[in-house]
Amino acid sequence: MAPDAIDQVVELFATLPTIGRKTARRLAFHLLRQPPEFVEQFAASLVSMRTAVRECTQCCTFTDRDVCAICASPKRDRSTICVVEHPSDVMAIERTHEYRGLYHVLHGTLSPLDNIGPDDVRIRELLGRLDGVNEVILAINPNVEGEVTTLYIARQLQTLGIRVTRIARGVPVGTDLEFADDATLAKAIEGRTTL
Amino acid sequence: MAPDAIDQVVELFATLPTIGRKTARRLAFHLLRQPPEFVEQFAASLVSMRTAVRECTQCCTFTDRDVCAICASPKRDRSTICVVEHPSDVMAIERTHEYRGLYHVLHGTLSPLDNIGPDDVRIRELLGRLDGVNEVILAINPNVEGEVTTLYIARQLQTLGIRVTRIARGVPVGTDLEFADDATLAKAIEGRTTL
């Protein structure tokens, strides 16, 4: 019923995460109500983002330079590396203003079932930048694949004599205990700290 | 923290309906993980949609031709026009396969508080295409602005001696009465039909 040009945009929007067909249709119609200049700017921004942004040659996060702002900063503690799955995790941790070390972005997790092995994530790149590093903090998402990846990296690093830590798993701040799932609660008890 | 190119895309995504800043960020990062060709195709589709799609010269719905497929079809009943707010409403009614007449898309509703008057929606265009029309069905959304618009158009058409109807307001199919709001239930009782 709709012109093909609209259908095509709906199809493409619907491939994006969190966007179903209904929302995709709504977004397409919204863009049709905007001035052509807005849509052109939107399209140009997408292309120039994808062209400009690449991986930092040191930590593999997204950057528009060879070396990202964090790796280039003289204020960061170069003896600590925090390993995360995605560039968005770097930003999440930066927003806490609690961490002053460097990062390393894996761009995924090991997943034998999906044929994703150590060479498909940036583990080799991590092993190649451990000169002068005292501690590696593993901040990988606490799910099955994350667990596999955490243990794999921990084992690799322990043979090199580097201190390996992982971020605490426990009850989120601001929630009620009764709403925490069993696994989280078990980890919270296991990881209890002395007052 | 993020490169400007990413921030700009996040800002633009966040201007779209149903997309908050968190989702906008997620979409931007998703696109960064796609091949450059995909992002280029996505951008090109947006621009070509906005360029190709305009309003049908008869019913004002979105089309990539002068006259939309519905207005051009010899199979449609030209004596009935169904008035809706948006092109997406046309598609919603078409999906029911219940209606064989023509449409007219207002592209909005009257809203005195927002300074949207009769000249800002396609009411004049509607009044200009009533030759040979016996019935106008008003299928405008049942909210305050929709009500104002429905009554305004009804009054204009009644002076021309055309039959004006509105779609039924009542309890949605498949829900429980207890979940219907008072206004809907009142309209359902008022509009009861004989069995």
Sign of the alpha-carbon torsion through A109, A57, A61, A83:
positive
Q: How far apart are CA B64 and CA B87, in angstroms?
A: 13
Q: How far apart are CA B1 and CA A68, in angstroms?
A: 9
Q: Which pTM was predicted?
A: 0.78
**Residues A23/B82, Cβ–Cβ less than 8 Å:** no
Tens digit of each residue's pLDDT (9 = 90 or more) over B65-114: 999 999 999 999 999 999 999 998 998 899 888 899 999 999 999 998 88
Class for domain A55-194, per CATH?
A: alpha beta
Q: Which residues of A touch B12 (CB under 8 A)?
A: 41-42, 45
**Residues A92/A105, Cβ–Cβ less than 8 Å:** no
Q: Which residue ranges make up each domain of chain A?
A: 4-52, 55-194
* Mutation site for A-interface testing, chosen from B15, B26, B50 by largest number of A Cβ within 10 Å: B50
Q: What is the pLDDT of residue B180?
A: 80
Q: Coil, strand, or helix at residue B55?
A: strand
Query: Is the per-residue pLDDT at A1 higher than 70?
Result: no
Q: Which residues of B touch A28 (CB under 8 A)?
A: 49
Query: Is the per-residue pLDDT at A195 higher than 80?
Result: no
Tell me the mean pLDDT in the region A31-35.
94
Q: What is the pLDDT of residue A16?
A: 96
CATH of B4-52, one of 1.10.8.420, 1.10.1040.10, 3.40.50.12780, 3.90.105.10: 1.10.8.420
- Cα A149 from chain centre: 14
Write the DSSP assignment of A79-140 as a string of letters: EEEEEESSHHHHHHHHHTT---EEEEE-SS--BGGGTB-GGGTTHHHHHTT-TT--EEEE--
Tens digit of each residue's pLDDT (9 = 90 or more) over B156-173: 998 888 999 999 888 888
- Cβ neighbours of residue B119 closer than 8 Å, sequence gap 6 or more: none
CB–CB contact B53 A6 (8 Å): yes
- Both structure tokens of B24: 């906008």
Side-chain-side CA neighbours of residue A12 (13 Å): 21
Q: Which residues of A touch B46 (CB under 8 A)?
A: 9, 31, 39, 42-43
DSSP β-ladder status, A135-138 and A101-105: unpaired
- Both structure tokens of A36: 């052509």
Dihedral, CA atoms, B94, B100, B106, B112, nearest 10 degrees?
-100
